[in-house]
C-alpha cells in the first residue's frame, strides 16, 4: 500500500492522458477457466447403456426362445383342424372320405355329389413339409389320419402330431 501511495503523487496529468484503461478482457484471458460442453456421450455413459441392454437381453431372450416353435406347432394344429373340416364336408357330400387331399380341390371320378372345392389350396406345414393323409387311418381306423411330420422332417418320430394326438 505504501508503494502505491508514493507512486500516485508522482503521476502528472499528461501521463493520465496516455493511460489505456479498458475493462474488456483480453482474448484468451479466461480460455483455461471456462468449460466448453460438447454434445455427445461419455465412455462411461455408453458402457452403462450397453450393460443395461445386456441385462435385459439376458432376461428376455430365454423366455422368447421357445415361442417360435410353439407358434409353429399351433399353426400346424390349426391347419390340421381346417383340413379336417374340409374332409368332413367332403364326407357329408359324398358318403366317404377322399382318397387323397387333392380330391378336395378337384372332383375325383368316383365322387357322386362333389360340391367343392373344399379348400383354396392344400397348405404345407410350418416347416415346409406336406401334411400326411391316409384313409383309412392307422390311428383312426373308421376315418382318416392327418398329420405333420414336425420340425425334424421325419415320419414316425416323437415330434410328429396329427388329428389323433392330444392338444
pLDDT grade for 36, boundaries at 50, 70 and 90: low
Kindly report the backbone phi and psi dihedral angles of residue 14, in degrees, each rounded to the nearest multiple of 5, phi listed first.
-70, -30
Q: What is the pTM of this model?
A: 0.59
Mean pLDDT computed over 120-137: 88
- 106 pLDDT above the threshold of 80: yes
pLDDT grade for 161, boundaries at 50, 70 and 90: confident
| CA atoms of 112 and 93, how far apart (whole Å) | 8
Range name among 22-36, 49-63, 145-159 with the lowest pLDDT average: 22-36
Proportion of the chain in helix, strand, coil states, percent, rounded to 5: 40, 5, 50
Kindly report the backbone phi and psi dihedral angles of residue 22, in degrees, each rounded to the nearest multiple of 5, phi listed first.
-130, 145
Please give the mean pLDDT across all residues of the chain.
78
Which cell numbers in the block locate residue 162?
Answer: 396329427
Which residue intervals of 11-160 are DSSP H helices?
13-18, 43-94
| Cβ contacts of 93 within 8 Å, gap of 6 or more | 111, 113, 114, 115
- 62 pLDDT above the threshold of 80: no
Q: Which pLDDT score, from 0 to 100, does residue 30 have? A: 52
Mean pLDDT computed over 106-126: 87
- 45 pLDDT above the threshold of 70: yes
Mean pLDDT computed over 4-10: 54
Identify the DSSP state of 78. H
Q: Which pLDDT score, from 0 to 100, does residue 138 have? A: 85
Range name among 41-45, 57-61, 103-107, 131-135 with the lowest pLDDT average: 57-61
CB 118 within 8 A of CB 89: yes
Mean pLDDT computed over 38-64: 82
Q: Which pLDDT score, from 0 to 100, does residue 6 have? A: 54
Amino acid at each position: 500500500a505504501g508503494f502505491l501511495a508514493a507512486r500516485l503523487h508522482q503521476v502528472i496529468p499528461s501521463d493520465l492522458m496516455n493511460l489505456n484503461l479498458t475493462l474488456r478482457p483480453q482474448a484468451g484471458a479466461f480460455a483455461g477457466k471456462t468449460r466448453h460442453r460438447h454434445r455427445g456421450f461419455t465412455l462411461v455413459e455408453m458402457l452403462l447403456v450397453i450393460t443395461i441392454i445386456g441385462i435385459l437381453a439376458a432376461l428376455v431372450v430365454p423366455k422368447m426362445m421357445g415361442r417360435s416353435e410353439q407358434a409353429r406347432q399351433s399353426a400346424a394344429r390349426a391347419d390340421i383342424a381346417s383340413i379336417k373340416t374340409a374332409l368332413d364336408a367332403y364326407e357329408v357330400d359324398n358318403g366317404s372320405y377322399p382318397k387323397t387331399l387333392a380330391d378336395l380341390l378337384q372332383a375325383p371320378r368316383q365322387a357322386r355329389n362333389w360340391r367343392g372345392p373344399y379348400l383354396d389350396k392344400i397348405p404345407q406345414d410350418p416347416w415346409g413339409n406336406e401334411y400326411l393323409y391316409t384313409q383309412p387311418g392307422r390311428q383312426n381306423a373308421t376315418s382318416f389320419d392327418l398329420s405333420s411330420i414336425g420340425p425334424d422332417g421325419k415320419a414316425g418320430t416323437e415330434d410328429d402330431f396329427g388329428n389323433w394326438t392330444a392338444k
